[in-house]
Structures are given as C-alpha cells and as structure tokens.
A and B are shown apart, each in its own frame.
Chain A
C-alpha cells in the first residue's frame, strides 16, 4: 500500500508566490526525501530530512518534518516558471524479502504550475 500521499494533487500559482505542498505517511521512518520531476524526465532529488530533524533548507526550498503527525511539508519560496513540475515525497521502508536495508516508497505527487 502507498506509504506517502501528497496534498494538494495540483497547485497553480503566479511567479513570485510561494508554493506549499504536504506529505503524509503511515508508518515510522528513518528519513523522508523530496523529488522533482519535469515533464518527460526522470526524478531529481531535492532534499533529505532525517527523522531526528525538524526543518531543513536548501536554496529556495524549506522542508519540515513532524514525526508525531507523520507529515512533512515542502515550501518553495519566490517561485519561478522553471519550478513548474511534479513534486514527490518518498519515505523509507524495509525490504520485503531480505532484512537488511530499506527501499523508498513514493507518493502520487503534487503537480505545480507556475504562471509567468
């Protein structure tokens, strides 16, 4: 079953505005990652936040993590047209067939449209 779910599914904003999207997950995690996917391309890693961290910044990106609520948010400040993409959260879960190691499960993504 899906571990992470993003909200909203789609978001349309004007250039210069901030974009916020949320991710909720079901089971305890060691870390949570956010990825971006431009149309027709692969996913690009944006930021990783560990379970003992509450907030992390990278350029115009700010990620928060609330393990008590099993949720995370991604904020893109001063958005640009180039930020138009789908954004996914991913959480780690144990492998099914062997005990050692974790795999990532992805949510359905938030499609962000930044209008010039």
Chain B
C-alpha cells in the first residue's frame, strides 16, 4: 500500500467517449503528478500540481484535461482520445517540489486502452 490510490485500474474506451481517471493520496503531500508510461518509452511527465495550482504542463494535447480540486485529489479528464494514447497512466505525489529532493509515491496506475 503506497498511500496513493488510482481508479479505475483498467479502462477501455472508444475514441469518442469521455471518461475520467481519479487519483487520491492519503499522505498529506503538497504536490501531485500525472505521468504517461508507454511501451518502450521513458516515463513522461504530463502535469504537476502544487497546492492545487498547476505548475507544469508538458505540452500535453488538450484532449487531456487535469483537475485538482484539493491537495488530496487529482483527476485526468479524457475526451476524443487517439489509439496512441493507450498507455499506463500513473499518478504520484510528493511532500514538496523544491530542489531538496523528495521521493515520489506512485499509485498502481490505470491501464487505458483506446479502441
């Protein structure tokens, strides 16, 4: 148990569907992250939120829309996705984000398949 819970664990959707991924952390951390992990590619950072404020958007297409209503919850809203968006989407949290160095705690991810 990492303290970071992601739901659903698996999601299959058509290209015209709208769905949301949910992440919740029970660690009292201030920063939350969305990553995309595709086969044979390095982990890609998508979004970072610090104290509910978006700090980073790594040139992610607008069909991915993040939402952070409070420091414990993070959502990723999906609409009109493409087949190349099929991947494992990982959520993580860390105590802080400065250059001190903070370990990130990951959920087990949502395996997304686009038909």
List the interface of chain A (C-beta within 8 A of B). Answer: 2, 30-31, 33, 40-45, 48, 50, 88, 92, 95-98, 100-109
* Most B Cβ at <10 Å: residue of A43, A98, A101: A43
Are B42's CB and A2's CB within 8 A? Answer: yes
A41-B108, A42-B2, A42-B90 known; 4 new pairs, CB 8 Å cut-off, are A43-B92, A95-B56, A101-B50, A105-B42
Closest beta carbon of chain A to B16's beta carbon, Å: 28
Using CB atoms, name the residue of chain B closest to A43.
Answer: B106
Using CB atoms, name the residue of chain B closest to A50.
Answer: B101
List the interface of chain B (C-beta within 8 A of A). Answer: 2, 4, 6, 33, 40-43, 45, 48, 50, 55-58, 90, 92, 97-101, 103-109, 111
**Contact A92 B56, CB 8 Å, known A2-B42, A103-B48:** no
Closest beta carbon of chain B to A77's beta carbon, Å: 22
Are B103's CB and A48's CB within 8 A? Answer: yes
16 of the cross-chain contacts (CB-CB < 8 Å) are: A31-B99, A33-B101, A40-B108, A41-B108, A42-B4, A42-B92, A42-B106, A43-B104, A45-B104, A48-B101, A95-B55, A98-B56, A100-B98, A101-B50, A103-B45, A109-B42
CA–CA, A45 and B94, complex, Å: 11
Query: Among the listed A30, A43, A96, which residue makes an inter-chain contact with B58, where contact means beta carbons less than 8 Å apart?
Result: A96
Contacts of B107 in A (CB 8 A): 42
Using CB atoms, name the residue of chain A closest to B2.
Answer: A42
Closest beta carbon of chain B to A93's beta carbon, Å: 10
Contacts of B56 in A (CB 8 A): 95-98, 103
Are B99's CB and A92's CB within 8 A? Answer: yes
Are B98's CB and A107's CB within 8 A? Answer: no
**Contact A31 B105, CB 8 Å, known A42-B4, A95-B55, A108-B41:** no
Closest beta carbon of chain B to A98's beta carbon, Å: 5
Are B101's CB and A31's CB within 8 A? Answer: yes
Contacts of A96 in B (CB 8 A): 56, 58
Are B55's CB and A101's CB within 8 A? Answer: yes
* Most B Cβ at <10 Å: residue of A40, A48, A103: A103
CA–CA, A43 and B88, complex, Å: 12
